[in-house]
């Protein structure tokens, strides 16, 4: 069986590409994908997969579960109605601080701030990197350096780092045309409609590269916030993987499992077998592609072929 993961189904494609390039699917494309899942596969939920792995539930062949990371507003407004049209229910993993404060994750802000650097010619002094960058040729290296920095930071540190980049790049962050995040009300309504809400940490760092204190905030405090806002404890957890490897470690796994989660999903591609641990579930990343490419990706995965 397979678990797919999406991020955004964007009906504002041109504007959103400045913030979340490469992780969006157009609504018409997503509709084709969901129709194919209904007609050629067996859509299931993560709870069904858990039951099968624990040997107390049968599951149909060619089973596929759908998940979304981050918690963008279009998950509720665009993606969920399309899935419901085909009888499909998904798990939506929320970056809880971004929902609580209605602000984009740091990686989306960083994409926006660096986007002009690939077209402009100028020299930028970077006191954090202790060097000068010459744009556009150094734009990618500068972006990678600061992405690695932010991936190891807590929420408040991320905010300070984004503010530093706004000054360094002379590029104030423009939130007006940016994608929105799901609200708590939307999340509660999704649960009522048969979907599931999971935990994607508090502020989307790489939890294998942060301090133990910050790990508690990212996993435990996020869990408590979700439970408070949703009226029920989340049972499914998704590790962020903005950059750096690995994306989790033994300590993070212990922390997640201590909270009673049924599953942990990764960004590691692959398929689920009978011996797969529910606390290390691989998933197939899905972004904008043709229906034929999508179909081929699923078929090769079911055949056990890594592509």
CB atoms within 10 A of CB 282: 17
168-202 residue pLDDT tens:
999 999 998 999 999 999 999 999 999 999 999 99
Locate 197 and state its tokens. 């809400």
The residues pairing with 133 across neighbouring beta strands, listed in sequence order, are: 124
| Helix, strand, coil share (%) of the chain residues, nearest 5 | 45, 15, 40
Domains annotated on the chain, with CATH: 2-103+181-302 (3.20.20.370), 106-169 (no CATH)
219-258 residue pLDDT tens:
999 999 999 999 999 999 999 999 999 999 999 999 999 9
Average pLDDT estimate for 146-154: 97
What lies within 8 Å, CB to CB, of 119 at 6+ separation is 136
27-81 residue pLDDT tens:
999 999 999 999 999 999 999 999 999 988 899 999 999 999 999 999 999 999 9
Mean pLDDT score of the chain = 96
On the question of pLDDT at 204 being above 90, the answer is: yes
Q: By the 8 A CB rule, do 64 and 33 touch? A: no
On the question of pLDDT at 307 being above 70, the answer is: no
């Amino acid at each position: 069986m397979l678990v797919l993961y999406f991020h955004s189904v964007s009906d504002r494609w041109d504007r959103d590409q400045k913030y979340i390039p490469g992780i969006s699917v157009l609504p018409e494309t997503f509709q084709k994908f969901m129709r194919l899942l209904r007609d050629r596969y067996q859509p299931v939920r993560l709870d069904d997969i858990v039951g099968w792995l624990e040997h107390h539930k049968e599951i149909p062949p060619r089973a596929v579960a759908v998940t979304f990371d981050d918690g963008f507003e279009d998950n509720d407004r665009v993606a969920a109605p399309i899935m419901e049209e085909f009888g499909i229910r998904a798990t939506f993993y929320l970056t809880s601080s971004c929902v609580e404060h209605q602000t984009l994750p740091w990686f989306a802000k960083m994409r926006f701030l660096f986007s002009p650097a690939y077209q402009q010619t100028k020299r930028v002094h970077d006191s954090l990197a202790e060097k000068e960058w010459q744009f556009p040729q150094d734009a990618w290296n500068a972006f990678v350096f600061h992405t690695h920095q932010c991936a190891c930071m807590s929420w408040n540190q991320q905010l300070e780092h984004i503010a530093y980049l706004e000054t360094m790049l002379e590029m104030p962050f423009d939130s007006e045309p940016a994608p929105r995040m799901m609200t708590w009300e939307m999340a509660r309504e999704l649960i009522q409609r048969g979907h599931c809400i999971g935990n994607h940490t508090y502020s989307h760092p790489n939890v294998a590269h942060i301090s133990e204190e910050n790990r508690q905030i990212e996993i435990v405090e996020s869990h408590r916030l979700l439970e408070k806002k949703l009226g029920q404890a989340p049972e499914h957890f998704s590790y962020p993987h903005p950059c750096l490897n690995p994306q989790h470690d033994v300590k993070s796994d212990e922390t997640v499992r201590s909270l009673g989660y049924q599953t942990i999903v990764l960004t590691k591609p692959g398929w689920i077998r009978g011996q797969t641990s529910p606390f290390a579930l691989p998933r197939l990343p899905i972004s904008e592609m043709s229906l034929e490419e999508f179909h081929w990706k699923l078929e090769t995965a079911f055949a056990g072929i890594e592509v």
